[in-house]
Amino acid sequence: MKEILLCKYGEIILKGANRRYFEDMLCKTIRFRGKHFGKFTVTRSQSTIVIEPRDDAADMDGMFETTLKIFGIVGVSRCAVCEKDMDAIRRTAREYLPPFLGGKRTFKVEAKRSDKRFPLTSPEIAREIGGEVLSVVPRLKVDVREPEVTVNVEIREFGAYLHAGQFKGAGGIPVGTSGKALLLLSGGIDSPVAGYMMAKRGVQLEAVHFESFPYTSERAREKVFELAGQVAQYAGSVNLHVVSLTHIQEELVKNCEEDYFTLILRRYMMAIADRIAAESGCGALITGESLGQVASQTMPAIGVVDPLASVPVFRPCIGLDKEEIIQIARRIGTFETSIQPYEDCCTVFTPRHPKTKPTVEGVLEQQNRLPFEALVEEAIAGKTVERVRTEF
């Protein structure tokens, strides 16, 4: 007996000419991610992608866990393949299926024959295998209308497939099918979630982190690399640009009114991110802002920062409560890293009374006390970039 994975993908996007492109991207991602777990063959048949190990060394558990993090896959079934012979199918049903039936009360068997030469009809196969399942898990009851789990038996050309139930996939659409965007990645809770959410909609990520060494530490930077690796489990590898704002912040503190520090700093961030986006072929920026969460996230505050971007700014957390963002952060595994207490450049010179209703004139009057353009260029000239690979 051999085990394979059957990945189901969503139907909505499959209409028309998109289908081929979507499937190709998905297969490419699966093949690439699969290399970490051994040798696999990835093929498609109908609306299913079939992942087969090519030898016994392939790590099926690892591969399975990974498929649950690949956007575009809505459900994954672990499936046993055996000979097309009723004795072998019965034996496989007894040995392979019980772990998938744990905690379930009702089931049904669905059988399908694509090989019509097989001696039993589909209803006959279903009945036989239903009996086998009951013999090894006697507490189960058959419920053909609303079973908690459905056992599938498929008689295919090269063998019989058996599987029970489907594990929920990450959903969304394959990364790369919506282009590329630049994520402003802090060490906080919200921005990794924002990156995850946009990757789910098919966006390939590039990331930028702003630091303010020595006011922010080496450890704070490492934390951001760790977060990028965690987001990359879903989004694929990302290039992480690191930009120092130290000089800008020192100039700000010397020349501008304290109430405006955060806003002007955010205008710098936006302007610098916009340049990096243009250089790296990103069609949008992504931030983790949530309306009203802090002083710099009021409507007027966002309003005086937003125009610095020449591409759309996606803010997928804008309408979410902190609690909702935290829930996602926990589910995707970034939360524990995010809450490690390291300083962020936004918090090193925090105004006591930040402006919540700034005007463009007010902000410009402050900003014009500094050579904005020259400081932006200097910051970009000192930038570093590193590729952060998917953390397994």
Q: Which of 96, 210, 261, 335 forms a contact with ligand ATP (CB under 6 A)?
A: 210
- Return the residues of window 260-299 that contact ligand ATP according to CB under 6 A: 287-289, 293-294, 296
Angle between helices 372-381 and 261-279 (to 10 degrees): 50
Cβ of residue 373: shortest distance to ligand ATP, in angstroms? 20
72 binds Mg ion (CB under 5 A): no
Cβ of residue 293: shortest distance to ligand ATP, in angstroms? 5
Residue 23 identity: E
Cβ of residue 210: shortest distance to Mg ion, in angstroms? 10
CA-to-CA separations, 379 to 78, 141, 242, 375, in angstroms, rounded: 50, 67, 10, 6
DSSP letter assigned to residue 173:
B
- Give the number of residues written for the chain: 392
Of 322, 320, 324, 345, the residue nearest 224 (C-alpha): 345
Cβ of residue 185: shortest distance to ligand ATP, in angstroms? 5
Q: Which is nearer to ligand ATP, 108 or 209 (CB)?
A: 209
Cβ of residue 360: shortest distance to ligand ATP, in angstroms? 19
Q: Residue ranges of the alpha helices (H) in the chain?
A: 18-34, 60-67, 86-96, 122-136, 190-200, 218-235, 246-255, 261-279, 299-305, 322-332, 335-338, 345-348, 360-367, 372-381
Q: How many amino acids of this chain bind Mg ion (CB under 5 A)?
A: 3
Q: Which is nearer to ligand ATP, 108 or 200 (CB)?
A: 200
238 binds ligand ATP (CB under 6 A): no
Distance CA 274, CA 253 (A): 24
Task: For Cα atoms 202, 207, 213, give the angle at the middle one, nearest 5 degrees.
Answer: 165
Q: Which is nearer to ligand ATP, 33 or 209 (CB)?
A: 209
Provide the greatest CA pair distance for the chain.
87
Q: Which stretch binds ligand ATP (CB under 6 A): 25-33, 142-150, 183-191, 246-254?
A: 183-191
Q: Which is nearer to ligand ATP, 184 or 231 (CB)?
A: 184
Cβ of residue 102: shortest distance to ligand ATP, in angstroms? 38
346 binds ligand ATP (CB under 6 A): yes
Q: Which stretch binds Mg ion (CB under 5 A): 92-100, 180-188, 260-268, 356-364?
A: 180-188
345 binds ligand ATP (CB under 6 A): yes
Place of tokens 């599987």: 163
Of 270, 269, 209, 207, the residue nearest 239 (C-alpha): 207
- Return the residues of window 108-127 that contact ligand ATP according to CB under 6 A: none
Burial string for 317-356 (b: 16+ CB within 10 Å, else e) reads: bbebeeeebbebbeebbbbebbeeeeebbbebbebeebbb
Q: Which of 128, 132, 154, 190 forms a contact with ligand ATP (CB under 6 A)?
A: 190
Query: Site residues (CB under 5 A) for Mg ion?
Result: 186, 188, 344
Contact residues for ligand ATP (CB under 6 A)? 184-186, 188-191, 208-210, 287-289, 293-294, 296, 344-346
